[in-house]
Amino acid sequence: MIITRFQTLALSLTALFGFTATALACGGGGPGDGNNGGGIIIQSRDPNEMEGPFGYGDPVTQRFVFPDEWMNYKIHFENMTNATASACEIRINASLSDNLDWSTFEFSEVNLGSQTDTTFFGKKGGEYVVPRQGEAFKLKMVFALNDTTGGLSCYLRAWDETQADQGYWPADVLAGILPPNDDTGRGEGYIAYRVKVKSAAASSARIDSSATIVFDTNDPITTDPAWWNLVTTPVQVWFDVQGGLMWSTFATVAAGATYSDLPAPSRVGYTFGGWWTGANGTGAAVTNGMPVTTTADLTLYAKWTAESYEVTLDAAGGSVDPATLTVTFEAPYGVLPVPVFAGHTFDGWLAETNGVRFGVSSASVVSIPTNHVLSASWSLGVFTVSFDAQGGAVSPGSKAVTFSEAYGALPVPLRAGVQAVQERRLPPSHLCRSRKDTPCLRSGRRTPTP
């Protein structure tokens, strides 16, 4: 008599615990070959869900997608932590929506625990056997899409090539392709595929997607939640940055959805004031959260407000009032005050950026996009000194002199019968000592006796 794996497990449990156990595990001709009597039920348990694209708009109420758009789906399943055996075989069935183009169907990958296989990527169907990491047995997968009904079927099972006489089921009755789950996620898996929305799908058409999953001999479970999307018209939005900078100048939004994640351009010296349907802040403002009310492509325009900066006036030794000004970027400085500095001539205001100094006048356009300083430029004053010969004659009669510099050579005047004596200053420490022939002057100057 040949004892099957199921029978071996039952005999072992009987010996250990004194009763007969029913094992819904891998063995013999496959899962489910044993009785359904009392005792310990060794079986996998399966919660699952469907995952698809969120699309555009509110993920709860809209989920808009476009005609001819790829739809990526995942059918998730899990062997729950309270399962008493690994899943040996998994059957998945799904029905593709009539609003999907079944001819574009492509399988993507299968994941079981920590192993993801992409052997099937781009395939429309077939039978495959792939190795399992760390396992003596392999994974066998058979999948196909019925081009007439849109029905997708996928079958996964453990495949031990050394157990041909046991239907290729692994010798270990507790072995399988998906063990009970734990914190590592070893009992989780999914299959993934993609398919396009029909190019002729009508606006507001609904795309429903769901699947049923069977672990071993468990009852079928329908994915919860199922997945759905709504078809709508794509609207191309072009962004006119109006002198600003932005990485991308166009985006796609969904008619009937809401605007979201609108980009924010930048522009030196300006504050972004949002997107508008007309240039320079005309028309209507468009902001995140507003509904897309058009089905035609449109252009949105950036609105900019020039920033204001504080300018500090450095009189550079002189005085100026006021000492600060408020200016607007890329607008003229406007009236600039004239500083005063005794003995000096004001030559104008100077600004500096990146080590380069340049002149600034009232008509100059503000080109420094930050608070900055204007410094006064001065030159020494040049004045005309006139000579009064006091009844005599002198040539030249005047001379130009520079403030804080020496007078230089002075002309000697002439007067008949009078000797001119060159002026000489006495040192501050000079004490006045009067002599009969040389009077002492309080002014610190000496004159000859007539």
What are 188-225's pLDDT values in tens digits? 999 999 999 999 999 999 999 999 999 998 899 998 87
CATH 2.60.40.4270 fits 235-306, yes or no: yes
End-to-end CA distance of the chain: 163
Q: What is the mean pLDDT of residues 367-388?
A: 95
- The closest alpha carbon to 316, from 339, 333, 343, belongs to 339
Helix (H) or strand (E) holding 16: helix 5-17
Query: 433-438: long-range contacts (C-beta < 8 A, 24 or more apart)?
Result: none
Which residues, 6+ apart, have CB-to-CB distance to 114 below 8 Å? 133, 184, 185, 186
Alpha-carbon span 303 to 240, nearest angstrom:
10
- The closest alpha carbon to 42, from 59, 55, 29, 24, belongs to 24
Alpha-carbon span 365 to 360, nearest angstrom:
8
SS3 384: strand
Which residues, 6+ apart, have CB-to-CB distance to 367 below 8 Å? 329, 330, 353
What are 75-106's pLDDT values in tens digits? 999 999 988 888 999 999 999 999 999 999 99
What are 382-415's pLDDT values in tens digits? 999 999 999 999 999 999 999 989 999 999 999 8
Alpha-carbon span 78 to 218, nearest angstrom:
13
Fold of 308-380: Immunoglobulin-like (2.60.40)
**Which phi-psi region, left, alpha or beta, contains residue 166 (left: φ > 0; alpha: ψ -120 to 50)?**
alpha
Would you say how long the chain is, in residues?
A: 450
Helix (H) or strand (E) holding 191: strand 188-197
Residue 412 corresponds to which amino acid? V
Q: What is the residue extent of each domain of the chain?
A: 46-231, 235-306, 308-380
pLDDT band at 20 (very low <50, low <70, confident <90, very high): very low
Fold of 46-231: Immunoglobulin-like (2.60.40)
DSSP state of 411: P
What are 23-74's pLDDT values in tens digits? 344 654 444 433 333 333 455 555 689 999 999 988 999 999 999 999 999 9
CA distances (Å), origin 151, targets 105, 115, 120, 147: 11, 27, 18, 8
CATH topology of 46-231 equal to that of 235-306?
yes
Tokens at 18, concatenated: 């004194």
SS3 347: strand
